């Protein structure tokens, strides 16, 4: 029944084709654990649509209670991880910065390290990181 449906569950619902959406809805009717986990994941995404930190914290408390009582071990583990990082998660409302930007910079720096096969000093690595990720403009004549 779930064969070849992995990416249906991982894909953003807004990006599903009509055929994929129908398949997902038909699977959801079976009350599968996978479908429950999918719903819990989608509800958590709504955290980032909350207007402020206070409303977000109330939302996260409700979600956390629901997740820890879901009887789905991976979801319970995820909820416990979020509880351990509670303040960090809620700090998103203050900065609205996600880890994605940092991960992007990190991948650029890791690629530079791999190309160079090691730097003589840490200072050289830091300088290269600034050159790659800093988007510096030198306005050199061409």
**Domain regions of the chain by residue span:** 31-95, 99-133
Q: What's the pLDDT score for residue 45?
A: 92
- Rounded to 10 deg, the angle between the 73-84 and 53-68 helix axes is 150
User: Which of residues 94 and 142 earns the better pLDDT score?
Assistant: 94
Per-residue pLDDT reduced to its tens digit, 61-109: 999 999 999 999 999 999 999 999 999 999 989 988 778 888 888 898 8
Q: How far apart are CA 21 and CA 44, in angstroms?
A: 20
| pTM for this model (two decimals) | 0.67
- Is 114 a residue whose pLDDT tops 80? no
- Is 56 a residue whose pLDDT tops 90? yes
Place of tokens 């409700």: 62
Per-residue pLDDT reduced to its tens digit, 10-53: 888 888 899 988 988 888 888 789 889 989 999 999 999 999 99
- Is 135 a residue whose pLDDT tops 80? no
């Amino acid at each position: 029944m779930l064969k070849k449906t992995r990416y249906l569950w991982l894909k953003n619902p807004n990006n599903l084709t009509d055929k994929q959406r129908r398949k997902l809805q038909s699977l959801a009717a079976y009350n599968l654990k996978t479908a429950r986990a999918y719903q819990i994941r989608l509800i958590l995404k709504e955290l980032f649509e909350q207007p402020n930190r206070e409303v977000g914290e109330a939302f996260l408390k409700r979600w956390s209670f629901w997740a820890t009582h879901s009887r789905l071990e991976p979801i319970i583990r995820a909820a416990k991880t979020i509880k351990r990082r509670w303040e960090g998660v809620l700090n998103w409302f203050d900065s609205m910065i996600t880890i994605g930007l940092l991960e992007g910079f990190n991948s650029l720096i890791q690629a530079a390290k791999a190309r160079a096969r090691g730097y003589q000093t840490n200072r050289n690595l830091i300088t290269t990181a600034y050159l790659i990720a800093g988007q510096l403009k030198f306005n050199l004549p061409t």
